[in-house]
Structure 1
């Protein structure tokens, strides 16, 4: 029975074994035997690995992984694993890619694999003078940063550039130093954070100020992934469809209320691949949305135009801080398997494929909005979820889903009534 009077103050919880934690939480929350067993089933992630990936580990939340087919990126056919719980996301990418496949698919590029770490300097009476003093120490800064990670230097990465800004804040002027570091095939958070922490005391010493935050920026605008694609007008339903899609884009470009949903659709595809490969979805998402606001207002991450031949050209440019080494990419067995399926040789190649998926997702969404409406395809797939929620099993799932779609009422109450009729007959 659930004990509503329990205390969340559990001394030494992190020192307990996984089984002990499950037993304790199950008792406190009143979990039944089925729920207890569910907590103990960690699926394809070994309990020992999970216990070292996060604190107070109990179990896993399994997310479906699907494969986006039809993707051709830079002349190479690619199978793309996508981890998502949302109906129609994988199907949308497959459909968009199919319509571009015969015209060559997606062309991609990358600005580089550089990450930024910021060092905050305060309590400086002459901030612009301090800025100059820091810039003059560029070579000293290079030596300090590169000494933090000899292996990165050996592989060809390391400190690349220095930027120093003076910003006005509620606490007065601050001097913000950016160290720009090539982290190669790593996402690079640990590398640049270590460098920033090592450098901070020197900046304080050189300027007479006081350093506080030393942390990477997820606005990775030195690590931009780009993708472009041309969909032939005849392959997407003609000029009327093309023009309707342009109107949908123009709406998103002009209005942040629409842009938020427009970009959410893009991130449906991007985040699914980022998650499947064990990369940091929150870092990529925050960077993307910040980049969409870089000109002072929130707008579309994609651009859509008409070519001289009358075809639809789409492009995307988005910060993409992903890696092939470090973190869950090397620990989680499913992430390692996903990377093997992708057959990518560098973090740059992975980032470029992810950008192409984001563009494909956006194409599918705005085409659906401009033609049949987003609900037709989405609800067709969602009907299977509703059917299972109503209790359908086996062949009943497809049968009930078809009934719901035919009625145009994909609702749980309707599903329960129709399932009863199926079983009664």
Structure 2
């Protein structure tokens, strides 16, 4: 077996990266000319990547401004979007123009928790039930053990789910401006050790994750109880503005929403909208979010109504938007610059970022939905996208 070159003394250097590129060229014949061109100091990548060889450059565009009437984001913001899909930035930009002219988008973060979900295993269901009662009575001790591992994490509550001889627990934490998965894992492990040492009954064993945290995958549990931030974006768009800018009426938009709801229901989709994943992924990659969290974050509930004046009320609920303004990949040079475009880098900015992303996603839903109804979907891709 030919092993990938490593430098035991300093594996995060330009020389170490160059040795691995040379190795790959020898092994595969690939010329890594563009991969080797980067401005980032390899030493700054510790904790973000292993076996570093260079960078994968993805086009970065800008959309906006989007007008956000939030509690943390208030004003107009330009949104960086990283993608290789033609028409995507143009479509979001179109939606931003319409909602801006309509007075902006009201965005609210209505819940904010990150989870880790261990499972405790007993001889039978009754012993598991007894443990659940003890856990409720001893929550203060569990909380103290968990919170001793973190400066910002707070254990707010624990949900219990019983099945067979197992008790699945879902620890719910407030994590500040970090996404918090690692924080929650460490805190929950310490809490489980405390539980195992203090529970007076017969505990067979425990496992840190029983898979009910549904980390990096969608679940109905997340839709109902949230994972990350539950964000609701809403706006009212005058019928005349819809006709002028998007070439559809409010009534046509509302009518199609009902048809689309049935289609999503029959498909068993976790999203009754059009393409929330597009905008979320584009902003996630630009701003250093964990891109695998798109799996949970893209789940959405889209709703529309006709107002008494014949205008369109439109909203999107993102029940599990996982974002951070601090930690992880957010401190890398280009990702930090993209966060700074929106004023969202550093502590105290995570909910602001969530509100901007919520507003951005709504703009994309409006624009694509209108393109489908007006039969401009294909023609727009032919003009701007890969079909040109």
| Same fold? TM cut 0.5 | yes
Q: Would the aligned equivalents of 2:99 and 2:363 in 1 still touch at CA under 8 Å?
A: no
Taking the aligned partners of 1:54 and 1:132, their CA distance within structure 2 comes to: 43
* Aligned equivalent of 1:414: none
Structure 1: gaps (5+ residues): 1-6, 293-299, 387-409, 411-425
The reply to whether residue 342 of structure 1 matches residue 333 of structure 2 is no
Could you tell me how far 1:117 is from its partner in structure 2?
1.5
Partner of 2:359: 356
What corresponds to 2:23 in structure 1?
Answer: 24
CA drift of 1:246 comes to: 2.6
Cα distance in structure 2, aligned partners of 1:193 and 1:242: 46
1:146-202 CA distances to partner (integer Å, 9 max, x unpaired)? 1111x22xxxx5222222221x3xxx4421112211111111112111111112233
Match of 2:193 in 1: 201
Aligned equivalent of 1:132: 133
What are the within-5 Å matches in structure 2 for residues 163-178 of structure 1?
163-166=159-162, 168=163, 172-178=164-170
More helix by share: 1
Two-structure CA RMSD over aligned residues (Å): 2.5
User: Within 5 Å, which residues of 2 pair with 1:269-418?
Assistant: 269-283=279-293, 285-288=294-297, 292=299, 301-318=301-318, 319-330=320-331, 332-344=332-344, 345-382=348-385, 410=388
Cα shift at 1:249: 2.3
Whole-Å separation in 2 of the counterparts to 1:181 and 1:122: 23
Aligned-partner Cα distance in 2 for 1:222–1:333: 25
Does structure 1 residue 186 correspond to structure 2 residue 195?
Answer: no
Q: 2:44 aligns with which of 37, 49, 73?
A: 49
Residues 320, 106 of structure 1: CA spacing in aligned structure 2 closer, same or farther, 3 A cutoff? same
Cα pair distance change 1:87/1:261, threshold 3 Å: farther
**Counterpart Cα distance in 1 of 2:82 and 2:280:** 10
The farther-off stretch of 56-65 and 119-128 is 119-128
Compared with structure 1, are the counterparts of its residues 11 and 73 closer, same or farther at alpha carbon in structure 2 (3 Å cutoff)? Answer: closer
> Can you list the C-alpha shifts for 1:65-117, whole angstroms capped at 9, x where unaligned?
11111310015111111111111111111111111212211001112432111
User: Which secondary structure state, in structure 2, belongs to the residue aligned with residue 340 of structure 1?
Assistant: helix
Tell me the secondary structure at the aligned position of residue 53 of structure 1. Answer: coil
Once residues 232 and 353 of structure 1 are traced to their aligned partners in structure 2, the CA distance between those partners, rounded to angstroms, is: 22
**CA distance, structure 1, for counterparts of residue 84 and residue 165 of structure 2:** 45
Q: Is the 8 A contact 1:112 1:348 kept in 2?
A: no
Distance 1:379-1:259 versus aligned 2 partners, 3 A rule: farther
1:246-303 CA distance string (max 9 Å, x none): 34322332223495786561211122112211111221x22235xx4xxxxxxx5211
Secondary structure of the equivalent of 1:236? helix
Distance 1:321 1:36, change over 3 A: closer
Question: Against the structure 1 CA distance between its residues 338 and 39, is the aligned structure 2 distance closer, same or farther, given a 3 Å change threshold?
Answer: closer
Q: Distance in 1 between matches of 2:271 and 2:129?
A: 41
Are the equivalent residues in 2 in contact too, given 1:253–1:259 (CA < 8 A)? no
**Cα distance in 2, alignment partners of residues 350 and 90 from structure 1:** 18
3-state SS of 2:177 partner = coil
Question: Paired residue for 2:64, among 26, 47, 69?
Answer: 69
The answer for the alignment partner of 1:249 in structure 2 is 257
Residue equivalent to 1:268:
278
CA distance in 2 between partners of 1:124 and 1:310 (Å): 62
Aligned pair count reads 354
Measure the CA separation in 1 of the matches of 2:186 and 2:111: 21
Q: Which residue of 230, 236, 254 corresponds with 2:242?
A: 236
Aligned-partner SS, 1:54? coil
Alpha-carbon separation, structure 2, partners of 1:260 and 1:162? 25
Shift of 1:13: 4.5
Larger Rg: 1
| Offset of residue 39 of structure 1 | 2.8
* Structure 2 unpaired stretches of 5+: 216-221
CA contact (8 A) 1:113 1:184 kept: no
Contact 1:251 1:258 in 2 (8 A): no
Q: CA deviation at 1:50?
A: 4.0
Contact in 2 for aligned 1:100/1:232 (Cα 8 Å): no
Q: Which has the higher contact order (CA 8 A, sep 6+)?
A: 2
